[in-house]
Amino acid sequence: MAVLASALFGSPTAFSQQELMVDMSKTIAPIQPTMYGIFFEDINFAADGGLYAELIKNRSFEFTIPMMGWSQPNSDRHSYNNESGFAMPVKYFEGEGNLNFIRVQVKNAGGYELHNEGFRGMGIKEGNTYRFTFDAKQMEGAISAVNAFLLDEEGNTIAEVSVPVSGSEWKNYTVEIVPNKTVMKGSLKLTFDGTGELGLDMVSLFPTDTWNGRENGLRKDLVQLLNDLDPGFLRFPGGCIVEGRTLARRYQWKKTVGPVEERPSLVNRWNTEFDHRLTPDYYQSFGLGFFEYFQLSEDMGAEPLPILSCGIACQFNTGELVPMDELEPYVQDALDLIEFANGSTDTPWGKVRADMGHPEPFNMKYIGVGNEQWGPEYIERYKVFNQAISEKYPDIIIVSGSGPFPDGDYFEYGMKELKEIGAEIIDEHYYRSPEWFKENATRYDSYDRNGPKIFAGEYAAQSVAIASPDNKNNWDTALAEAAFMTGLERNAEVVQLTSYAPLMAHAEGWQWTPDMIWFNNLESYGTPNYYVQKLYSTNKGTDLISVTQDGKNLVGQDELYASATLDSKAGEVIVKVVNTSSDAQEVSLNFKGKKLKGKGKVLVLKEENLSQENSFESQKEISPVTEEIKVKGTTAMYEASPYSLNVIRIPIK
């Protein structure tokens, strides 16, 4: 073949030649539409301060320290502040929801100021329109207006507006404001006309240019990066955030739906998790709640996959257990969520969905019970959920978990028990070294084809060590993931959902690395890992076929990895070849079973420096380029560059 290839295409320039056979005569398994998806967790300021476009931190004064995020530069809490004034939090009532407001006491209108710092500042764009809203009521005296100023980093005004206020009852005020300058770390300043006391609550600032133009919606550039992945599913809201450090602080979906102003805030479980990245100002407003997650899934054409507490707090923290005889409310939450997502408007929770503006069902098909719990305590509780959900909603597919690790006692016990139960889909997690990912490209080759299906729900190669703040999203990690993913795809009979984790990180608000998408207050970019995921998800095909070398799967021989699919919709064959060696390798692709139609194309992701990363300054340093591949009869030759992922697409007759 080498002589023939040389005659057809000229002398090869690569260091070695590899002959691969692509068999299109029969398909092995369908590629599920859910094969490549998105795992979202509110970690690294991914929701508040990130995807949720609100610019005000602690807008309704509900943090444990009610004035966190706010400052009064001309005031002193140990003074009467006769030349300025002072604002103090006031509690509406005990319970849950919007509990606090502030009483702004202005003694000298020329001296008092109230500032909000935003989420590590506010990203403000020149010429864009921002909607400033707040609730207010006059309490004493004659404060007649609230004046809002957007400030740059030096404290200069870049936009201002005055809003008249009146009346002793709560009213909502809305005004639009357009800045004359772009700033990365702006802030909001409020002043007041007149003196007296004013009640103030739900102080909010949103860009009007949000995803799909929704009022008070999601940050457009971040959703666009997600949408560009063409995800098959959206898993939400986590992650360890589902479990909470304690059961009282677990994620409870019912508290995240309904009017935004009535949703109770909750301290984020990642706020003080790591000493190396303490973020005590990390809370959840739940403006991005379950309704918004379902809506986002629908926008992207992705299956919604919510994960719920199974009655165990995070076992890396307290591991607090709800007693078995008190588990019923947790199970009911799962049943009610299915009704919220799929029920008619005549049902209680279907009506809640309809009242929020979506009378049509979301057609949820999957629900997850527990995140990465382990041990008999999890299995005991999972069985109760499994029985209750299966009896009432037999068509719902339940996702279970095998624990936090891909091997060891926890994993082996969980897999054994879940198989005996007859679990439908088991979620596996792995945060390991790049070497582990390359060595485990064969992980699923021996899995039982008649057993539970697999959800590779959280994975990412760690350049240093799990949870290290020094992990990098470099090409070494992304290339290893690309090699591993050939094994996921090659085992599509078993593996039906996969997702990288974590998804997003604020450049100054992160707790965990690595992360697939990085953003600051103005910009965002995809890492090399993002582009690996994108190449797989947008080139998944519809049916798995075999690609072999000497009759064997290509799983690291000569540091090459491969998988292949047919795309019946596009009428193409897709071959993914990953070269993890430092040498170029000439690949001879021999096709059988169908005829090829002329030349194809190759989407190439490559970088000879394994330490290379993308950055805000060079956002597409490592990103795909498109090349041509020539076809001669049933053969195509291609030179795979050192350290490269190559997605080859050739039309078929």
Instruction: For the chain of 653 residues, list the mean pLDDT of each consecutive stretch of 10.
Output: 36 66 98 98 98 98 96 95 96 78 97 98 98 97 97 98 97 98 98 98 98 97 98 97 95 97 94 93 97 98 98 96 98 98 98 98 98 97 98 98 97 97 97 98 97 98 97 98 98 98 98 98 98 98 98 97 97 98 97 94 98 98 96 95 98 94
Is 38-46+232-276+298-465+485-522 in the same CATH topology as 18-30+545-651?
no
pLDDT confidence of residue 4: 34
pLDDT score, position 201? 97
CATH number of 18-30+545-651: 2.60.40.1180
- Catalytic residue numbers read 372
Beta carbons within 8 Å of 533's beta carbon, 6+ residues apart:
36, 229, 500, 516
- What span, in angstroms and rounded, lies between the C-alpha atoms of 171 and 134? 8
* Residue 139 confidence (pLDDT): 97
- The structural architecture, per CATH, of the domain 38-46+232-276+298-465+485-522 is Alpha-Beta Barrel (3.20)
Classify the phi-psi angles of 598: left when phi > 0, otherwise alpha if psi is within -120 to 50, otherwise beta. left
CA distance 255 to 551: 56
The superfamily (CATH) of domain 70-207 is Galactose-binding domain-like (2.60.120.260)
- Within 10 angstroms of residue 537's Cβ, the number of other Cβ atoms is 19
pLDDT of the residue at 460: 98
- Contact indicator for 196, 143 with CB cutoff of 8 Å: yes
Answer yes or no: are the C-beta atoms of 457 and 429 closer than 8 Å: yes
Does an H or E element contain 632, and which?
strand 631-632
**Residue-level pLDDT at 6:** 35
Give 155's DSSP letter. S
Sheet of 504-506, strand order: 504-506, 517-519, 524-526
Bridging pattern class, strands 543-549 and 560-567: antiparallel
Per the structure block, which two tokens stand in for 456?
A: 């590779």
CA distances from 35 to 147, 488, 517, 565 (A): 51, 9, 20, 13
- What is the distance of C-alpha 310 from the center of its chain? 21
* CA distance linking residue 139 with residue 352, whole number of Å: 34
> Which residue is associated with the tokens 């805030």?
265
List the chain domain ranges. 18-30+545-651, 38-46+232-276+298-465+485-522, 70-207
| C-alpha pair distances (Å), 254 with each of 266, 286, 308, 376, 560 | 13, 11, 11, 28, 49
* Spatial separation of the C-alpha atoms in residues 595 and 494, rounded to whole Å: 29
pTM: 0.96
